[in-house]
Every structure is written in C-alpha cells, then in structure tokens.
Amino acid sequence: MRGLGGALVLVLALAACAPDPGVAGAGASGAPAASASATLPPDAPEIDAAAIDAALAADEAEYDARIGLVAVDTEDERTLEHRADERFRSASSIKALAAGALLARTEPADLERVVTWSDVVDHSPVTGPATATGLPLGEVAEAAVRLSDNTAHNVVLQELGGPAGLQEALRALGDDVTRVDRIEPELNRVSPEGLDTGTARSLAADLRALLLGDALDPADRAQLRDWMSGNATGDALVRAGAPDGWSVLDKSGGAGGLRNDLAVVERPGAAPIVIAVLTERRDPSLPYDDALVARAASVALEALR
C-alpha cells in the first residue's frame, strides 16, 4: 500500500494538439481538424509525423470518427499524440485506475476481506452469481479489471468512497483533467456536462504512474499488472495492433460508438510504451469498431518501434 498523495506527478513532454473544449460524445462533424505531432528528445530516432497524421486522418475519415491518442516510449521519451487533449468518455477503461487506487489504499489482508452487495447491474459475470455469498475484495477488483464486471466496479468505487473518492485519488496523481462522476452503468452515458470523461494525455499519465511509476508499492504494482495481463476483452484492440512478440497489459472500455483501450506495451530489449487510444464515431447511432483502435495503435507502435 502507498498513499497516492505521495506519488510522483508525471509531466509528459507533449505538445498540445487541437484541444477540443467541447463535450465528449457530441458527435459534431464540425469538430476542429487535428494533426499528429511528435516530441523528440535530443538524439532520438526521427518520427515521420506527417505520415502518422495521414494514416490517422484516413482512419478518422473512413470510420467517421475521431481518435484521441498518446503513445510514450519510456526508453527515450519519444511521444506521439493526436487529439491528446480532447475529451472522451472513459467508460470501462476507468476500472484499471480504480483498481490501482484501491491497491494503493489497502494492505494484502484487506483484499481477503469478503465484501457483499445487493444491487447487481448488467454485465456482472462474476459478482452476479455470487450475490448471496459475496467475494473477497481482491477477487472483486480482479473481476472489474479482467472481465469488466460492472457490479464489481461499483463495489470498488464504494470502497474508495464513491466516484468522488476515485477522482480524489487521480488528483493525487497529478491528474486535474479526468472526471469521475457516476457508477455503472450510468458512467457510460453521454452528458452535456462532460461527466466521466478524460483525455488520452491524462489517462496515459495515470496508467504510467500506476504501472511504471512509484504510485504503487512493488507488490501492488505487480498485482495490477497481473489483473491487466492476458485479458480477452482487449484481444482485438491495442494487442491486435502490436508487433509479434510484444506483450500488452490493457483495460478496454466501450459504449455505443465509443471504444477505448489503455495499455502498457512491453517489447524485448527496450523499455515499455504507454499508450492510450480513445475513439468515438461521430454518428452516435453507429456501433464502435475494434479495428479502429487496433489500426491507430499499430500506427503509433510501428512509429516508436
């Protein structure tokens, strides 16, 4: 356990990229154009930002969508971004950050404590059948991350003091952008106030702090890594866009035309890449498409290879 208030505040060296002050989920076709940009430290390999911009713009046009992307090579701090400061609903991707916040404030023995609940919401494959008996808190948190169990996420939020408790934990990480306002399933719904939204920049920094920084003790960091490893919910997303031989720790999210994936990508012989890919169709009646996330991730990961 480590209090998040003592965590290192990460400041990614990212240039702003057509920030959208509007509300996520508006689906407006008149949103400002965005261009990919790259931040390169001295002596770092060059990145063809124009080619990346063209690829992402083509994907946005093909899917009538917008893509928010930040990818940071932690080996040399090369950074790619596209619509990095535009807001998107976090959806179920927030569950990984909630689990990290829970680990930061608990001891191993706390995760063995059996917790109970009475309100079961849709998509609760683990907690639904266990409503009568309850489950150890650690198993509940794992279900929220690994299987995106919605009731499990609500239980984790309750342990944190509700949505406000999770938002406070993110603020302690240095994230003053991401909003946490509601529980499942309401958190997936578009709101004119921009409730439950974040940006690719803010969410990538949070994930980096939890999985690669000092926000968590080593044992808690290893636990979160385990919960985010090999999850079938992310097979068609960043993992599908990663080169052969690379491994992906991720947490996906999706609702309507929105599809997200937050990931740490590990590769042989080099430090990991942190990547956040947030996508949303401009027509809210259209379903999301996993391929859009995979294609955007592939563009970024190949550029940082």
pLDDT at position 35 is: 66
pLDDT tens digits, 190-237: 999 999 999 999 999 999 999 999 999 999 999 999 999 988 999 999
Q: Is the pLDDT of residue 16 over 70?
A: no
Question: What pTM was estimated for this model as a whole?
Answer: 0.89
* Across 289-304, average pLDDT: 98
C-alpha angle with apex 100: 96 to 105, nearest 5 degrees? Answer: 150
Mean pLDDT of 123-128: 99
CATH for 4-21+31-303?
A: 3.40.710.10
pLDDT for 27 equals 44
Nearest CA to 261 among 247, 277, 246? 277
Q: Residues 156-166: what's their mean pLDDT?
A: 99
- Buried/exposed 87-96: b ≥16 CB within 10 Å, e otherwise: bbbbbbbbbb
Residue 184 annotated among the catalytic residues of the structure: yes
Residues 291 and 305: their CA atoms lie apart, in Å, by 20
Query: What span, in angstroms and rounded, lies between the C-alpha atoms of 167 and 101?
Result: 10
Which tens digit of pLDDT belongs to each residue from 132-141?
999 999 999 9
Contact between 11 and 213 under an 8 Å Cβ cutoff? The reply is: no
pLDDT at 46: 80
In the chain, what are the domain boundaries? 4-21+31-303
Q: Which of 90, 184, 252, 280 is catalytic?
A: 184
| 90 catalytic per annotation | no
Q: pLDDT value at position 25?
A: 55
Nearest to 80 by CA among 252, 201, 186: 201
Of the two residues 10 and 201, the one the predictor is more confident about is 201
The set of residues, in sequence order, having a beta carbon less than 8 Å from that of 104 and lying 6+ positions away, is 1, 2, 3, 4, 169, 215, 216, 220
pLDDT of 61-115, one tens digit each? Answer: 999 999 999 999 999 999 999 999 999 999 999 999 999 999 999 999 999 999 9
Catalytic, out of 37, 90, 92, 148: 92
